[in-house]
Structure 1
Amino acid sequence: MDDISERLAHLVRRHRVPGAQLAVRWRGRTFTAEAGEEICGSGRPVTARSAFPLGSLTKPFTATLAMMLVADGDIDLDAPLAGYLPGLGTPAGRATLRQLLSHAAGLPANVDESAAGLTRRRWAASDGTAPVHPPGSAFSYSNAGYLLVAHLVEVVTGMDWRAAVESFLLRPLGIEPLFAADAGRAGAALGHVVRPDGRALPIAEQSVTLLEEPVAGLAGSASDLLAFAGLHLPGHAGPRLLDRDDAAEMRGDQLGGLAAGPFGLADGWGLGWSLYGGPAKTAGTAGTAGTAGSWFGHDGTGDGAWSHLRVEPDSGTAVALTANGTNGAVLWEAVVGELRGMGLDVGHYPLGTLTDPGPPVPGPAECAGDYANGSWTCAVEAADDGLYLAVGAGPRWRLSCTRDLRFTTEGSDAGSMPYVGRFLRDPATGRVGLVQITGRLARRRR
């Protein structure tokens, strides 16, 4: 592990990632490495303090804020939200904080762009909180759900989310508060689009709005992520900001008995944390409801940026990677392989491949149709040579399908990750009525 800097630099060059940080806590020691540039061609090297857009790795910070209020008795995990947010519509008001934190409240996948100018209070009273699945019925990854968590935190504390996360979490942990909106300032890394030929094009601004900052708006370093992870470990030696029992509950799988689990994202889901198995676990069928591994963490994607965190609570082992290229997930897969070769069996869920897929089969024509989860849509088309998928206004990809209706997309650009998904049948009718892609569960419209 002492040559971690050389190994990271090699992988960054090999996969043409503009810049990256790696921080590892293993066997009582902490190792850090940096490689590349904050902005490609700028001459500004990545340092240990460089802040990268964390994307959805912001969500565990927002979840931790909520759990601190649970520990103080200000919120009941299993009480209907309507008791705290009287303006919330039905049936969203029947959902609970536990369901929001575990993506089981049925709220839409995304926050409508038209809501960008709203306050979180006004957004919470809008149609944007109308569930697309019955609360408590299935896992469906939801940015809207976490925006509602942030609104709940603001109502209970009387503080803006930024002020709360700075005061209650970041500064006590010694983390300098930085946000995706700070992209381009000194010490902040820009995201990059990395072309198939390896050319990296900087992205001047992150598209996350002020409204959605609690969902994907933080920026930080790999070392910051280790500091935050330490708060959730039983042997944490720093400030005890979170009750040990509540930290343990956050790491427990919440999805037992649900119709669909976090397929395409993780092996299970806790309260703010995704759950992962080691090599033996990920060799089998992953992502079924109610199954989990011994590791917790989360992934994050920004505009041209990726971040990853994995933690094993019993040993205190933790791994964090930040990268400022659209191909950062490919770098993460390579880092996991490198660490496993060194004897550190990182908990992992393959991001762009299926486990035990078997021989590919033609996709059934019955899967064709339009699917929606709020404003998040996709279209599946049946052609003579198989099924084709388009997500939103994105490109059209041919699907490679398995007998159990799982699939990956073919022909992704070099360095990018293919979509991984599955079609689901209605247990009552046997008809294909749902598709799940990157954890988002979309219902057939036609």
Structure 2
Amino acid sequence: MTMEIDEVGEWLRERLPGLAQEHGVPGVAVAVGAGGRVVEAAAGVLSTATGVEATVDSVFQIGSVTKVLTATLVMGLVAEGLVELDAPVGRYLPGFREATVRQLLCHTAGFEGDVFTDTGKGDDCLERYVDLLADVPQIFAPGEMFSYNNAGYSVLGRIVEVVRGEPFDRCMRDHLFTPLGMTHAANDPYEAILHRAAVGHLGGRPVPVWAMARSNAPAGSMLAMTPRDLLAFARAHLADEGLRAMREPQVVLPDIGWGTAWGLGWTLYDLPGGPVFGHDGNTIGQSAVLRVDPGRDVSVAIFTNGGDRKPLMKEILDRVVESPAEPVPDPAARPDARRCAGVYLSSTSETTVSADQRGRLWLEQIPLGLAAEAGDEPYRTELLGWRGNSLLPAEPGHRPVAFLGDDGEGRARYLHTGRADVRAAGRIEA
């Protein structure tokens, strides 16, 4: 890859404008790093309302990729002996529910994680947010399984604040942005406006809101930067042996198309060509992806501000790093309708799984809350046999789902889509 970096840069500059146009992506920026060198490209516009050109110096929101930066701040405290991974969170935030710092980092704490309550713009917003989490339900026992937890990362941000004695965004700047030379990184809209800032688009139109609540900033509601700055962060992880522990597997993921395991912040992919790690992120109309191949010293960051970004991102990723093979249905694997059928609930979706008269299994999902606000749309798809407890949506563009646990009557307790959605008892039968 090191010898091909110039070729990749040339391909990006030639292909990116057409690729964005093909997929209705208003604006896109990409950076690829290899062997200490970085090539960049951008295409399209930052907003269809203004027509301002997207450039390599434009900042896009990185959404949940922020979580890896938050995890890195926590690991800095661990390295300094100020925080212990297996200590209860209550040691640092007295009165907090049962969970360890490690469980927050690898999404196994088990409480409802999609809590997006706005607790204001003041420096006390994280403190107030953590206080209200006392009322959210515990879905499963801490450590039982992986279930993606946005709220847990706001709790981690609060730990950083308390131990460092300064607001989270100042910790981010003092301990990551400045030492890593991330000159085009913005903690909030007030910093983003100092740069060329992308605006998200839904349905081809600019969204009316740029950022979400500050109380979710450590999880990904605010942070914006250039792809080049995100690669500076990725290179730090390749260079610092002290950060290698963050990409050690902590919990094996169900077969849902998200990766093989989760580390201390990173998504981990165990691929035939060697390990790859990374993270994805989405805000309202903006998306980001980061992938790092440590064996080849290669990293890539792709940012978009709307449109059908998945095929665009896939074409670029496939040029640079190895990706998991696309799942293919297994005709011999027959879905167990009785085990799977039911209604499954979370704060971001209501999902109904039912069997038709021919024995085929169908999934119908209605987005709720922030998922609906972010542009997710209802969809219905047949579920096909795939692998073990995991089934594959026939509708293109949707990841596998897993049916886990037992409700005591031989039926799945959870529908796992990245989050463990809980069966609503008695709502539907096969």
**TM-score of the aligned structures, taking structure 2 as reference length:** 0.84
| Residue in structure 2 matching 1:298, options 275, 279, 291 | 279
The residue type paired with residue 413 of structure 2 is G
- Note if contact 1:301-1:307 (Cα within 8 Å) is conserved in structure 2: yes
The residue type paired with residue 258 of structure 2 is L
The residue type paired with residue 320 of structure 1 is A
Matched, 1:371 2:338: no
Unmatched segments (≥5 aa) in structure 1: 195-199, 237-243, 282-292
What is the alpha-carbon distance in structure 2 between the residues aligned to residue 357 and residue 410 of structure 1?
8
Matched, 1:125 2:131: yes
Deviation at 1:301, TM superposition (A): 0.8
CA gap of 1:161–1:28, structure 2 versus 1, over 3 A, is: closer
The residue type paired with residue 126 of structure 2 is R
Match of 2:198 in 1: 189
CA gap of 1:70–1:168, structure 2 versus 1, over 3 A, is: same
CA gap of 1:174–1:114, structure 2 versus 1, over 3 A, is: closer
Report the 3-state secondary structure (helix = DSSP H, G, I; strand = E; otherwise coil) of the residue aligned with 1:277.
strand
CA gap of 1:74–1:201, structure 2 versus 1, over 3 A, is: same
Report the 3-state secondary structure (helix = DSSP H, G, I; strand = E; otherwise coil) of the residue aligned with 2:16.
helix
The residue type paired with residue 323 of structure 2 is H
CA gap of 1:392–1:325, structure 2 versus 1, over 3 A, is: closer
| Residue in structure 2 matching 1:47, options 55, 72, 85 | 55
| Residue in structure 2 matching 1:387, options 362, 369, 373 | 362
CA gap of 1:427–1:41, structure 2 versus 1, over 3 A, is: closer
Give a deviation string over 1:300-338, Cα, whole Å, max 9, x none.
11111111111122332111111111422221112123x
Deviation at 1:428, TM superposition (A): 7.2
1:37-436 superposed matches below 5 A: 37-40=45-48, 42-88=50-96, 92-93=97-98, 95-113=99-117, 119-126=125-132, 127-128=134-135, 130-175=137-182, 176-179=184-187, 181=189, 187-194=196-203, 200-216=204-220, 217-234=222-239, 244-245=241-242, 247-255=243-251, 261=254, 263-278=256-271, 280=272, 294-337=275-318, 339=319, 344=320, 346-349=321-324, 355-359=327-331, 364-373=337-346, 375-382=347-354, 384=356, 386-393=361-368, 394-402=377-385, 404-409=388-393, 417-426=397-406, 430-436=410-416
CA gap of 1:432–1:130, structure 2 versus 1, over 3 A, is: closer
- Note if contact 1:311-1:318 (Cα within 8 Å) is conserved in structure 2: yes
The residue type paired with residue 266 of structure 2 is W
Report the 3-state secondary structure (helix = DSSP H, G, I; strand = E; otherwise coil) of the residue aligned with 1:98.
helix
What is the alpha-carbon distance in structure 2 between the residues aligned to residue 363 and residue 348 of structure 1?
30
Deviation at 1:222, TM superposition (A): 0.8
Deviation at 1:162, TM superposition (A): 1.0
What is the alpha-carbon distance in structure 1 between the residues aligned to residue 100 and residue 61 of structure 2?
29
Larger fraction in helix: 2
Report the 3-state secondary structure (helix = DSSP H, G, I; strand = E; otherwise coil) of the residue aligned with 1:294.
strand
What is the alpha-carbon distance in structure 2 between the residues aligned to residue 433 and residue 155 of structure 1?
37
- Note if contact 1:265-1:349 (Cα within 8 Å) is conserved in structure 2: no
What is the alpha-carbon distance in structure 2 between the residues aligned to residue 309 and residue 398 of structure 1?
29
- Note if contact 1:25-1:319 (Cα within 8 Å) is conserved in structure 2: yes
Deviation at 1:145, TM superposition (A): 0.9
Give a deviation string over 1:180-223, Cα, whole Å, max 9, x none.
635777500011124xxxxx211132352111111112011111
CA gap of 1:116–1:442, structure 2 versus 1, over 3 A, is: farther
The Cα RMSD (Å) is: 2.6
Give a deviation string over 1:329-352, Cα, whole Å, max 9, x none.
221112123x1xxxx4x14346xx
The residue type paired with residue 313 of structure 2 is W
CA gap of 1:204–1:112, structure 2 versus 1, over 3 A, is: closer
Give a deviation string over 1:94-129, Cα, whole Å, max 9, x none.
x11111111111132301437668832233233355
The residue type paired with residue 442 of structure 1 is D
CA gap of 1:380–1:157, structure 2 versus 1, over 3 A, is: same
What is the alpha-carbon distance in structure 2 between the residues aligned to residue 326 and residue 96 of structure 1?
39
Deviation at 1:400, TM superposition (A): 2.5
What is the alpha-carbon distance in structure 1 between the residues aligned to residue 281 and residue 422 of structure 2?
25
Report the 3-state secondary structure (helix = DSSP H, G, I; strand = E; otherwise coil) of the residue aligned with 1:211.
helix
Match of 1:240 in 2: none
Matched, 1:442 2:425: no
What is the alpha-carbon distance in structure 1 between the residues aligned to residue 176 and residue 309 of structure 2?
27
What is the alpha-carbon distance in structure 2 between the residues aligned to residue 128 and residue 20 of structure 1?
40
The percentage of aligned residue pairs carrying the same residue is: 33
Deviation at 1:40, TM superposition (A): 2.0
What is the alpha-carbon distance in structure 2 between the residues aligned to residue 24 and residue 364 of structure 1?
45
CA gap of 1:266–1:411, structure 2 versus 1, over 3 A, is: closer
- Note if contact 1:397-1:409 (Cα within 8 Å) is conserved in structure 2: no
CA gap of 1:56–1:8, structure 2 versus 1, over 3 A, is: same
Deviation at 1:76, TM superposition (A): 0.4
Report the 3-state secondary structure (helix = DSSP H, G, I; strand = E; otherwise coil) of the residue aligned with 2:75.
helix
What is the alpha-carbon distance in structure 1 between the residues aligned to residue 89 and residue 25 of structure 2?
43
The residue type paired with residue 172 of structure 1 is P
What is the alpha-carbon distance in structure 1 between the residues aligned to residue 187 and residue 64 of structure 2?
12
What is the alpha-carbon distance in structure 2 between the residues aligned to residue 349 and residue 331 of structure 1?
16
What is the alpha-carbon distance in structure 2 between the residues aligned to residue 202 and residue 83 of structure 1?
44
